Amino acid sequence: MGSARGLPLAGEKSPEAIYRQTSSYAPAMTDERSPGGSAIYRHQQAAPHTGGVAHANDQRITEHLRGAHGGESMVFHELVSDRVHLDVHVIYPTAEQPYYLLCTSGVSARPMNVPASVEGADSWRYAELCMLLPPNWTPTQEAFRDERVYWPVRLLKTLGRIPHEFDSWLGWGHSIPNGDPPAPYAPDTQLCGAVLIPPFLIGDSLFVAQGEPPLHVFQVLPITAAEMSFKLQVGLDGLLDRLESAISDKVLYGPVDPLRPSVV
Sketch the domain layout of the chain as residue ranges.
13-252
Write the pLDDT tens digit of every residue in 154-166: 999 999 999 999 9
Q: What is the pLDDT of residues 186-197, one digit of tens each?
A: 999 999 999 999
Are 101 and 91 in contact by the 8 Å Cβ rule? The answer is yes
**With contact defined as beta carbons under 8 Å apart, do 256 and 152 qualify?**
yes
Position 51 confidence tier, pLDDT thresholds 50, 70, 90: confident
Calculate the alpha carbon distances from 145 to 71, 91, 151, 196 in Å.
25, 20, 10, 27
- Residue 157 has, within 13 A of its CA and on its CB side, a CA count of 18
DSSP 61-84: HHHHHHHH--S-EEEE--SS-BSB
User: In residues, how long is the chain?
Assistant: 264
Enumerate residues 6+ apart whose C-beta is below 8 A from 136: none
Task: Enumerate the β-bridge partners of residue 84.
Answer: 54, 82
In terms of phi and psi (left: phi > 0; alpha: psi -120 to 50; beta: otherwise), the region of 161 is: alpha
Confidence at residue 97, expressed as pLDDT on a 0 to 100 scale: 96
Distance, in Å, from the CA atom of 125 to the CA atom of 49, rounded to the nearest integer, reads 19
pLDDT digit string (tens) for 97-127? 999 999 999 999 999 999 999 999 999 999 9
